[in-house]
Structure 1
Amino acid sequence: MISLRQHAISIAAVFLALAIGVVLGSGLLSNSMLSGLRDDKAQLQNEIERLNETNNRLGEQLASADGFDSAVSERIVRDTLAQRSVIVISTPDADPGDLDGLQRIVTQAGGSVTGRVSLTKSFVNASNGDQLRTTLTNIIPAGVQLRTGAVDQGSLAGDLLGSVLLLDPQTAQPQTTPEELALALDTLRAGGFIDFDGNVQPAQFAVVLTGSGDPDNTSGNRGAVIARFAGTLDGRGAGTVLAGHGASAEGNGPIAVARADAALSAVLTTVDNVDLESGRITTVLALQEQLEGGSGRYGIGPGATAVTVGSEQP
Structure 2
Amino acid sequence: MISLRYHIISIAAVFLALAVGVVLGSTTLSRTLLSGLNNENNDLGTQVSELEDQRNALNARLGDADSFAATVGPLAVKGALAQRTVVLVTTADARPTDRDALKGLIANAGATVTGELQLTEAFADQARSDQLKDIVTRLLPAGVQLPTAPDPGTLAGGLLGPLLLISKADNKPQVSVEESAAVLSGLTDGGFIKATPDLKPAQLAIVLTGGAASGDGAGDRAATIARFAAQVDRSGAGTVLAGSAGSANGTGSVGVVRADTAATSILSTVDNADTPAGQIVTVLALVEQLDGKSGRYGSGGNAQAPAPGAPAE
TM range (shorter): over 0.9
Q: Aligned residue for 1:128?
A: 128
Looking at structure 1, the residues matched to 100 and 246 of structure 2 have their Cα atoms a distance apart, in angstroms, of 20
Q: 1:125 to 1:281 in 2, by over 3 A?
A: same
Q: Aligned residue for 1:301?
A: 300
Q: Aligned residue for 2:137?
A: 137
1:215–1:251: 8 Å Cα contact kept in structure 2?
Answer: no
Looking at structure 2, the residues matched to 48 and 158 of structure 1 have their Cα atoms a distance apart, in angstroms, of 50
Q: Which 5+ residue runs of structure 2 have no aligned equivalent? A: none
2:213–2:219: 8 Å Cα contact kept in structure 1?
Answer: no
Q: Aligned residue for 1:167?
A: 166
Q: Aligned residue for 1:196?
A: 195
Give, in angstroms, the shift of residue 202 of structure 1. 0.3
1:216–1:251: 8 Å Cα contact kept in structure 2?
Answer: no
Q: Aligned residue for 1:101?
A: 101
Alignment TM-score, normalising by the size of structure 2:
0.95
1:297–1:305: 8 Å Cα contact kept in structure 2?
Answer: yes
Q: Aligned residue for 1:20?
A: 20
Matches within 5 A, 1:242-261: 242-261=241-260
SS at match of 1:168: coil
Matches within 5 A, 1:47-62: 47-62=47-62
SS at match of 1:114: strand
Looking at structure 2, the residues matched to 113 and 69 of structure 1 have their Cα atoms a distance apart, in angstroms, of 22
1:118–1:196: 8 Å Cα contact kept in structure 2?
Answer: yes
Q: Aligned residue for 1:264?
A: 263
Looking at structure 1, the residues matched to 9 and 312 of structure 2 have their Cα atoms a distance apart, in angstroms, of 86
> How many residue pairs end up in the alignment?
313
1:215–1:253: 8 Å Cα contact kept in structure 2?
Answer: no
SS at match of 1:287: helix
Q: Aligned residue for 2:234?
A: 235
SS at match of 2:305: coil
Q: 1:189 to 1:246 in 2, by over 3 A?
A: same
Matches within 5 A, 1:142-161: 142-148=142-148, 150-161=149-160
Looking at structure 2, the residues matched to 145 and 206 of structure 1 have their Cα atoms a distance apart, in angstroms, of 20
Q: 1:167 to 1:91 in 2, by over 3 A?
A: same
Paired residue type of 1:207: I
Q: Aligned residue for 1:34?
A: 34
Deviates more, 1:223-232 or 1:300-309: 300-309
1:87–1:116: 8 Å Cα contact kept in structure 2?
Answer: yes
Looking at structure 2, the residues matched to 306 and 216 of structure 1 have their Cα atoms a distance apart, in angstroms, of 30
Looking at structure 2, the residues matched to 167 and 245 of structure 1 have their Cα atoms a distance apart, in angstroms, of 27
Paired residue type of 1:33: L
Give, in angstroms, the shift of residue 14 of structure 1. 2.0
Paired residue type of 2:258: R
Q: Deviations over 1:65-123 (max 9, x none)?
A: 11111211122111111111110100001101011001000110011110000011111
Paired residue type of 1:309: P
Give, in angstroms, the shift of residue 251 of structure 1. 3.6
2:163–2:174: 8 Å Cα contact kept in structure 1?
Answer: yes
Looking at structure 1, the residues matched to 83 and 127 of structure 2 have their Cα atoms a distance apart, in angstroms, of 40
2:243–2:274: 8 Å Cα contact kept in structure 1?
Answer: yes
Give, in angstroms, the shift of residue 49 of structure 1. 2.0
Give, in angstroms, the shift of residue 18 of structure 1. 1.3
Q: 1:182 to 1:79 in 2, by over 3 A?
A: same
Looking at structure 2, the residues matched to 143 and 283 of structure 1 have their Cα atoms a distance apart, in angstroms, of 32
Paired residue type of 2:156: A
Looking at structure 1, the residues matched to 103 and 290 of structure 2 have their Cα atoms a distance apart, in angstroms, of 20
SS at match of 2:52: helix
1:217–1:252: 8 Å Cα contact kept in structure 2?
Answer: no
Looking at structure 2, the residues matched to 295 and 141 of structure 1 have their Cα atoms a distance apart, in angstroms, of 29
Paired residue type of 1:90: T
Looking at structure 2, the residues matched to 198 and 129 of structure 1 have their Cα atoms a distance apart, in angstroms, of 25
Q: Aligned residue for 2:272?
A: 273
Looking at structure 2, the residues matched to 277 and 86 of structure 1 have their Cα atoms a distance apart, in angstroms, of 19
What is the CA RMSD across the aligned residues, in angstroms? 1.5
Paired residue type of 2:199: V
Deviates more, 1:42-51 or 1:85-94: 42-51
Q: 1:298 to 1:217 in 2, by over 3 A?
A: farther
1:265–1:297: 8 Å Cα contact kept in structure 2?
Answer: yes
Looking at structure 2, the residues matched to 162 and 203 of structure 1 have their Cα atoms a distance apart, in angstroms, of 10
Looking at structure 2, the residues matched to 197 and 173 of structure 1 have their Cα atoms a distance apart, in angstroms, of 21
Q: Which 5+ residue runs of structure 1 have no aligned equivalent? A: none
Give, in angstroms, the shift of residue 217 of structure 1. 5.1
Q: Aligned residue for 1:118?
A: 118
Paired residue type of 2:171: A
